[in-house]
Amino acid sequence: MIKPLRNSILALVMLLAAPQLWAESDLFDGIEVNGLTDNKAILFYQGNLFLLKEGESAEDIRLIEANNRYAVVERQGIQRRLFLREADASDYSDNFIASSDQLTREQSGILASRILANADSHIIEAKEYSREEDRVRFRIEYFYNASHGEKASLRASVYHEGSPVGQSVSTYTRIYPGRNTADIEVRMSDAAPQNFTSDALQFEIVGSEAIDGVYRVLNKRIPYEKHWQRPEKKPEKFIGNVEWKTSSQ
């Protein structure tokens, strides 16, 4: 009598748990992993591709962990380990899986039409990491949708009271389709005066192909107050003794 009762209780528990297990399974239906690298994953969901870093979310899907073997995603407080689709795994070389830089560049060639179709190019963040009297350096996080060609560059200029100062230059910085980061240096030009003041910096993405005669993709201006000062030249040092003689006529 005890054994049938125990079996009945077990069956009841399984019956009650079944809807929850089914619901958890439904949460992750349609979520596919199309690309993997350390700390990043490309997720495909409802016709869209999302390149996420660990801790970032798209829709209501959060990427918890990513490596070259699997991704852990979370939805409604439930986590699930997902693996790379077999159809995509055959297209990924070891270098592609291992390198986050390759992930961004290779995906533009393999998946660009799907990843970038509905996304506008934009500068996500501009973070200063070095400052000197006559120059500054920024790390720019951006998204470029390749609208103006695969090859594009990042430029920067100094502004004061709404107008470009015209006395600064920036390094030529190549950028790539997709989401990535790039470093850029802005410094005083050789023709600049001894000092001047700025209240803003403008960053631009310029493509290699024109649309309606325009190569510039976008610009983003940020407040940036700085007194630019050309460093004083250090006196030249001469080593040894030099004796100058003039010939007599």
Q: What is the pLDDT along the chain (249 residues), one digit of tens a residue?
A: 444 555 555 455 444 444 444 345 578 888 888 777 668 888 888 877 788 889 999 888 999 998 767 889 999 899 998 876 543 333 333 333 333 444 444 444 444 444 444 467 888 889 999 999 999 999 998 888 788 988 899 999 999 999 888 878 888 899 988 778 899 999 998 888 889 999 999 999 999 998 899 999 888 999 999 999 988 776 655 554 544 444 444
pLDDT value of residue 4: 55
CA 114 – CA 44 distance, rounded (Å): 10
What does DSSP say about strands 32-37 and 40-45: parallel, antiparallel, or unpaired?
antiparallel
Q: Are 205 and 152 in contact (CB under 8 A)?
A: yes
Long-range contacts of 82-88 (CB under 8 A, 24+ apart): 82/28, 82/31, 82/32, 82/33, 83/33, 84/33, 84/34, 84/35, 84/36, 85/32, 85/33, 85/34, 88/33, 88/34, 88/35
pLDDT, position 7: 53
Given this model, what pLDDT does residue 8 score?
Answer: 55
| 180/128 Cα distance (integer angstroms) | 16
Q: Which helix (H) or strand (E) holds 41?
A: strand 40-45
CA distance 54 to 248: 80
Kindly report the number of other CB atoms within 10 A of residue 202's CB atom.
16
pLDDT of amino acid 224: 93
pTM of the model: 0.51
Q: Which domains does the chain have, with CATH numbers?
A: 31-115 (no CATH), 122-229 (2.60.40)
Query: Could you tell me which of 43, 47, 35 has the C-alpha nearest to residue 63?
Result: 43
- State how beta strands 135-144 and 122-131 pair: antiparallel
| Edge-to-edge strands, sheet with 40-45 | 32-37, 40-45, 48-53
